[in-house]
Amino acid sequence: MTTFPIAPELSTRKPVLISVGTRPEIIKMAPVYSELRRRGIPVVWVHTGQHREMAESLYAFFDIEPEHEVVLERRNGSLAHLNALLLEGLSDIFEKVRPGAVLVHGDTTSTLGSAQAAFYLDIPIGHVEAGLRTFNAREPFPEEKNRELTARLARWHFAPTAGAAANLGAEGLSGDGVHMVGNTAVDAAVAGTARLAELLDNGTLALPEPLQRLRPHLGRCRLITVTAHRRENWGPGIRNIARAVARLLAQHDDLAVVWPVHGNPAVSEVVHAELGALAGTLGGRLCLCPPLDYPALLWCLQHSLLAMTDSGGIQEEGAALSCPVLVLRSTTERPELVEAGAGMILGTDEDHIVATVGRMLSGGEALDRMRSAVNPFGDGRTARRIADVLARDLGA
């Protein structure tokens, strides 16, 4: 096992630096940021810019003001180009800040770039949501290898489940570097729903206009939330999902669907080609809208009979909010969802989607069992456990 000793000069004078840039990372690291601040541990937030257009509302919701940002001047869409920009920009920031530790999350290009930059500067790395594996290098791509490579660089491995910790152990990463802490997505969902209710009640937050139009239908319709964006689903996968949604809406006149459509043309053009014309003929039962901010998505999951998604984060958020999740992929790095009975792997075959969801909509106990399953991803105290480890090891 490779370990990176903590330098003796580390102290509370050196901040913990959180380096994230995508929407799910911001959501899942917000509880850690809040907990570190609550304890008086200096913390610096770096926004890596991957989801720049989605970040502002999230930062406002979670009361976070990033001290630094990498401005990504991308000339093409290649992963190599993105990684190079991140590595160079983050290295400059880390050299200026000289933190006592860098925290990264999950499996994005920002995750790997941040870990590389910290490693080159001999700064210890904490990997939150460590140990997830599908054991398929191309599904999800490039996330599976991103998290494997980040694991080789990290000093602290904050695993969300016993299964994730076991994966790390099988790779030779065990001992005092691996900590089974739960998933911060649960912390965020629990705190987020409470804050959402407060803001809606006092009138300081309104749901986006597409959801306002959908609300009147929920008295007589059952709602399904759909999201799909994974690279491996581009093309036939997204098309099959869209066609399955069209058939389900035709077969069940008490069904409503909200689909926040990812902005990537590989997704949006296919979804709108298949469903755009239909949306205007269903009396508001199909809502194709731009990507929703986090509180709006929480509202959708709270009010949904089930969710269909290829997202990793929604698998966790659905479980936290007792919303059954049907995974639109052939594998999941979160098998605990299925093992706990809170979800199932559905894939992207059109006929299989229609048949499976149709059976669930027609009654029976399957949905009730999934809704009452015990959440396998934690108890909402993950951030406290992470902060405990960092405070102990950094002398904070």
Q: How many other CB atoms are there within 10 angstroms of residue 174's CB atom?
A: 14
Task: Fill in the amino acid letter for 307.
Answer: A
- Reported residue count of the chain is 396
- List, in sequence order, every beta strand (DSSP E) within the chain: 16-20, 43-47, 68-69, 101-105, 125-128, 156-159, 178-180, 222-227, 255-260, 286-289, 306-309, 325-327, 343-345
Task: Fill in the amino acid letter for 73.
Answer: E
Closest to 95 measured CA to CA, from 46, 27, 55, 144:
46
Token readout for 342 is 């809170």
| Spatial separation of the C-alpha atoms in residues 177 and 165, rounded to whole Å | 10
User: Would you say 298 and 192 are in contact if contact means Cβ atoms under 8 Å apart?
Assistant: yes
Token readout for 50 is 């991957």
In Å, what is the CA distance from 81 to each residue of 78, 88, 212, 264?
5, 11, 40, 18
∠ CA 47-207-59 to the nearest 5 degrees? 15
Long-range contacts of 333-336 (CB under 8 A, 24+ apart): 333/132, 333/133, 333/134, 333/140, 333/143, 333/144, 333/147, 334/132, 334/377, 335/163, 336/161, 336/163, 336/376, 336/377
Three-state secondary-structure class, residue 19: strand
Task: Report, as residue numbers or ranges, the catalytic residues.
Answer: 107, 129, 143, 229, 231, 262
Torsion angles phi and psi, residue 95, rounded to 5: -65, -35
Torsion angles phi and psi, residue 205, rounded to 5: -140, 135
Token readout for 306 is 């089930």
Name the burial class of residue 91, with classes exposed (0-12), middle (13-18) and buried (19+) by CB atoms within 10 angstroms of its CB: middle
Q: Give the pairing type, strands 286-289 and 178-180.
A: unpaired
